[in-house]
Structure 1
């Protein structure tokens, strides 16, 4: 559990300079980057699932904070952002994925989805799988995220 003050400090009071996308902000907690997402509604199932999985291709939840009826979820930080930003990019020629990276990302995604279906008990289905829900870390390794719609089979 995080205190709201810790998240405010980590994000420079949710400064626009730390805004990533939507309701997600980049922060620094204990010297490491983190992604902090403000979530509305019931997140108990997502928290329960993420607390029970441990796989390098699934985003890691490091903690939560409840403040004024809002839930803030703190995740590991994926430095290269969403896969969709790399695939559908038309404006930045520096955002190009080599074939080596593309094959590795496809393998990472398949391995992560296989883990959810074959190695969680009960098995889970993501139900909102798309390129914007695949994040790339600093080594371009894929991390599946956004388990809000995930359901057990």
Structure 2
């Protein structure tokens, strides 16, 4: 069998393509019109944390969009801690609700996701009303 000569540059280029599955399972080649569906999350902002021995309002906490906000409360205390939300720089603070029912209001220690923000102007606050003791709080992502 005769040896074939290698010519550089070749008259062809081997093509490689990246594809992904669309909603109905069809392979879609990545292009400018159909970019690879990926996203990079923004780094989390500084946590709102501290200890309160008196009633008051703490905040604001600026959540990163599309990521859950976790509230941790600990200590020996009695009273209420309520998460409030503002979209006007803190002039108006509204309690979190789900279907018209109060959400994000606590009378004991907790560690759970309380909110997932989708509006860039939104800020979260903790409205702390203590009857006794002190509560350590942390609102973070």
Q: TM-score, normalised by structure 2?
A: 0.25
Higher helix fraction: Structure 1 or Structure 2?
Answer: 1
Q: Which structure has the larger Rg over C-alpha atoms? A: 2
Higher strand fraction: Structure 1 or Structure 2?
Answer: 2
Q: Which has the higher contact order (CA 8 A, sep 6+)?
A: 2
Q: TM-score, normalised by structure 1?
A: 0.23
